[in-house]
Structure 1
Amino acid sequence: MKMRVTSATVATCLLFLQSCAAVLKNGAGRESPNVLFLVIDDLRPALGCYGYQNVITPNIDQLAAKGIKFNNAFVQQAVCGPSRTSFLTGRRPDTTRLYDFYSYWRTAAGNFTTLPQHFKESGYFTASVGKVFHPGISSNFSDDAPYSWSVPAYHPPTQKFKMKKVCPGPDGQLHMNLVCPVDVKSQPLGSLPDIQSADYAVEFLQNVSASSQTSPKQPFFLAVGFHKPHIPFKYPREFQDLYPLFNIHLAPNLSLPPDLPTIAWNPFTDIRKREDVKALNISFPYGPVPRKFQLLMRQGYYAATSYTDSQVGRVLAALDEQGLATNTIVVLVGDHGWSLGEHQEWAKYSNFEVATRVPLILYVPGVTHQPVRGDSTFPYIDALESCINEIPNHNIVNAPSGGNDNVLVQKNSCNKAGLPHCRLQTLPEEGHESDALVELVDIFPTLAEMANLRTPPLCPTDSSKVELCTEGSSFVPVILNVTGGTSRQNIVTSWKPAVFSQYPRPSEQPQINSDLPHLKDIQYMGYSMRTEQYRYTEWVAFNPDTFKPDFDLVAARELYLHDTDELEDHNVAGKSEYRHLLTQLSQQLRKGWRNALPSQ
């Protein structure tokens, strides 16, 4: 019998060879927890467990039911490369000096230790699958090798077709479309990137389990990055059937806010490059996108999200089946949000809530969930098998022809279709949740503390020469407070009063590079602060040579009152009755994140 040798097999063979040395180094008496780190590209909290009753995500919902869900988790910058570099180093964009995709922090800012590197240097076997670091210059064309990973990072071969004409059109030709449901077998190499990444991760976990039977156990840190629902919305066609268009509705606030500063607008240039969007002749910079196509985009995003959920489910089920769920911390996070027509905008590239707020779920065995002997922790839930037959006329997937746009804007009939029932009937537990304000820079120190590693100290004001430190705070006390665990000796009595994001702009008026300006073109930086009640943003002059903002030159301000305006539709920064509040928030923003650290 021949053994099938794959890159995942090679990786776990290396794990076997390293494990003996690791056990000798760390001692065999204590078993360290494994870490499964799941990063999902462009994922906003449009999940069943976050209250989106018509979005079918049973496997992520199941993770939340066994874990703790953070309802107010925010990124430091709403674009892939800067966000990932920030949370993987535990430092903010003004420290990593990455606001675009075109510099590597180790050469541009400092030799900063990363989250996986810290685990690797503490005796863990670390592996990267899919999109974890942003590929290219920002991770040195190597996913930060050799620092972060024990073996070369795995990238699915089918990802190279991202910008290719692979989307079948009604004309019988292939196109490079935004909305792109496909027959997987007809795709190049007969697969899709996230399927291949899940395959690799599943095989890795199987091999880890097998090798642990014959060798000393070495803990692993496995990071798996899923590409969807990032554009294009290319996913197996059958997932489209979960979202018939008569169940899709437009954004509740689909118009351009009247008091929105022009500098705050992102003209969604990335989606305009796709053939199906080009054919719409959408005016620049504001649009709007025709309503019929808005529905197709929202349908595509939700279908791509359900497809990703199925791949997450496969990995979690493998973790469970291999007996690893009882000693593996699982983290699931989106790298930033994505606007689905709110404020007439699409994509990320802004400081709005829809761009900066993300799902963050942690499963900690023995803390968030007590495994029961003989029970399965993460059985795979097939949404297609469970739900598709409960959807009336589920084969209706194309936009109705004729009529005006308003005909398509129907009241959501999801409850009548039975979709929440088919998702939730398998989830008897509700899980834990927290409304605490947390930031993705908090993940690094949190995981280090959970794994009993050295927790990175707080960075000094100038940390360019400090390899290991963090600009975040461990939220382990928040988890223990919610789950009823015993807090650490230094109990945090007051958590963060505010969290911080930022976004660069090349000009005060929207232009072709407003969404993603290169460093040399950045003229303004929008610094945004989210408190329990408010979002306050100042757009100030920025020097790309010194990386310094000038708060004396304010181009625009935004103030949203979340108690009455949770969708951030009404900028009241210019109203005289909020003058004193504006002054207070401006002072708080300018003091920055260091003034918002938890008190001990």
Structure 2
Amino acid sequence: MTKIRAFFFYCLCFILLFSCSEPEAEEKPYNVLFIAIDDLRPELGVYGNEIIQTPNLDAIGDSGSVFLNHYVQVPTCGASRCSILTGLLPQTTNHLQNSAIEQFLSNEPEKERPESFVHHLKRNGYYTVGIGKISHSVDGLWYGYEESPEGAKMEMPHSWDEMLFDAGKWGTGWNAFFGYADGSNRQGKDNQVKPYEAGEVDDMGYPDGLSTQLAVKKLKELSAKGQPFFMGLGLFKPHLPFTAPKKYWDLYNREDIPLSAFPELPENVHPKSLHESGEFNSYKLGEEKAGLDRKLSDEYARKLRHAYYAAVSYSDALVGKVLDALEEEGLADNTIVIVWGDHGWHLGDHRIWGKHTTFEMAVRSPLMIKVPGMAARKIGNEAPVSSIDLYPTLMELTDIPTDFPLDGQSLVSLMKNGTDPQREAAAFSYFRNGISMRTDRYRLTHYFREAEPAVELYDHKNDPMETVNVAAEYPEIVAELMPLMEKGNTGLYASSSN
């Protein structure tokens, strides 16, 4: 064989070899599983609680990014969800109400700007499924607590390919939301109910079990579909009433459950910054009523905290069923998993049983994001983050551009590197005619009202429970922080410089 023939022979072999080799597999887009848990404060093992039993949620945090200082924009369900879904800070006082999604999304035609990050994912090739409480309504429909859902409008009409809910023996979504194990509900009994229940039922004996069952079934279908998907699963518990199958109560010795570290009124604070636990007190068969003029007995307070812990452990077990389904369907290695609490809850802290304040206990909640292949990390108080940061984070992780403004900032740099030099250490929350800003060390709150004091400052280095307002003692710190707070004033109130 001549040299020229040999050269062409080897070239031909080279071409045939590589033309017959397997083509590189096309990289699949991430799926997204978003788990919203109602009234979940950071009472999880991965957040440092050594008593509560939450192995499945802890496993997500242990293998993902845990934001130890995550803050919601509004400490009430509907408004908090409106902010995270739209990626926007509240613009008007109506954005602070539970009806925010109904007012600003439900009746709107489809516009160039997507109504939510779910809508944006859908427009970019994702199949979107909602199960349970993702927006404010528990089944995605806009109707009153005691009304029929028949003919009701969708809260987010352009976001979902499918919106699913199984009301079971409760009949309607809102009946299920306030439901008890026997099929009764709070409103049907004219509030003549207790704020807790240890049901003699299995996991399917409460509505969240039915939602989880739907999620597991739908994951099997989505796995076969071969299209990237977004699934939102909204669990009710631990929202009032604190109900759970008895086996989750049995996980705890009640005497081991700690009481609030500060069940007293904070100093130098006007009562208008607090509230009288109205939602909690609406459960008329509760053994004691809460109020700012008194604290509950230690015995009853511990019983309620026991009920809350049981409800959290119930939700944790249901999350485990969904994680198992992801594994079984071969989806876990390509699915981003997000866990988000829509706000915190005072469990007797500051004599309050409920949300609806701008204190740390009401606006701080869990946020965990697990991305396949990304190293686990805990992001601490040096980097307070906000719910509105999730929208740009998801778009960066899924490589979907946004050509419209968002108020949040992507968390991906924090997740990958632990730091983000471009991020200011400030998270804003709004309620009770006030703006509250959390920095790495301080909480500064300015209320737009006549009642004094209207400015509150808490030093989290020395006072993590926010027991003493030190604004009058440290006016120079207030003056230093006020310009930064102005960045969170969206026009909702008069300028805080006045």
Number of the residue aligned with 1:115 = 117
Query: What is residue 391 of structure 1 aligned with on the other side?
Result: none
Matched, 1:447 2:394: yes
Q: 1:568 — aligned with what?
A: 466
> Separation in 1 of the partners of 2:429 and 2:379?
20
The partner residue of 2:288 within 280, 284, 294 is 280
Instruction: Tell me what 2:268 maps to.
Output: 259
Distance 1:109 1:76 in 2: 23
Name 1:502's counterpart in structure 2. 430
Which of 467, 474, 477 matches 2:410?
A: 474
Q: Distance in 2 between matches of 1:219 and 1:156?
A: 28
Which string of whole-angstrom CA distances, capped at 9 and with x for unpartnered residues, describes residues 202-256 of structure 1?
01112222x24xxxx2100000000000010111011111122221221111111
1:585 partner SS: helix
Instruction: Quote how far apart the aligned CAs of 1:280 are.
Output: 2.4
2:8 is aligned to none
State the SS of the aligned residue for 1:206: helix
Alpha carbons of 1:194 and 1:164: their partners in 2 closer, same or farther (altered >3 Å)? Answer: closer
How is 1:191-590 mapped onto 2 (pairs within 5 angstroms)? 191-209=205-223, 211-212=224-225, 217-277=226-286, 279-282=287-290, 284-368=291-375, 431-435=376-380, 436-454=383-401, 456-457=402-403, 468-482=404-418, 493-504=421-432, 525-541=433-449, 556-575=454-473, 578-590=474-486
Q: Deviations over 1:89-108 (max 9, x none)?
A: 11112269422123421378
Deviation at 1:199, TM superposition (A): 0.4
Q: 1:125 aligns with which of 113, 120, 127?
A: 127
8 Å CA contact 1:88–1:444 kept in 2: the answer is: yes
CA distance in 1, matches of 2:97, 2:329: 40
Query: Per the alignment, in what secondary structure is the counterpart of residue 336 of structure 2?
Result: strand
Letter in 2 for 1:350: T
2-side partners of 1:569 and 1:144: how far apart? 39
The CA deviation at 1:138 is 9.4
CA distance in 1, matches of 2:341, 2:411: 18
Label 1:226 to 1:142 Cα distance change in 2 as closer, same or farther (>3 A): farther
CA contact (8 A) 2:336 2:369 kept: yes
8 Å Cα contact 2:133/2:235 also seen in 1: yes
Tell me if the contact between 1:131 and 1:225 (Cα under 8 Å) persists in the aligned partners. Answer: yes
Is structure 2 residue 90 aligned with structure 1 residue 73?
no
Residue 184 in structure 1 maps to residue 201 in structure 2: yes
Using a 3 Å threshold, how does the CA distance of structure 1 residues 138 and 536 change in structure 2: closer, same or farther? farther
The secondary structure found in structure 2 opposite 1:152 is: strand
Query: In the alignment, is the contact (CA less than 8 A) between 2:292 and 2:352 conserved in 1?
Result: no
Going from structure 1 to structure 2, the CA distance change for 1:177 and 1:472 (only over 3 Å counts) comes to same
Aligned residues: 440
2:265–2:292 CA contact under 8 A, matched in 1: no
Q: Percent identity?
A: 34
Q: CA deviation at 1:475?
A: 1.2
1:263/1:556 contact within 8 Å kept: no
Secondary structure of the equivalent of 2:163?
coil
Note if contact 1:96-1:105 (Cα within 8 Å) is conserved in structure 2.
no
Q: For structure 1, list consecutive stretches of 5 or more residues without a partner in the other structure.
A: 1-27, 369-430, 458-467, 484-491, 505-524, 542-551, 595-600
Question: Aligned-pair distance for 1:432?
Answer: 1.5
Deviations 1:336-385 (A, max 9, x none): 001111111111100111111111111100213xxxxxxxxxxxxxxxxx
SS in 1 for 2:91: helix
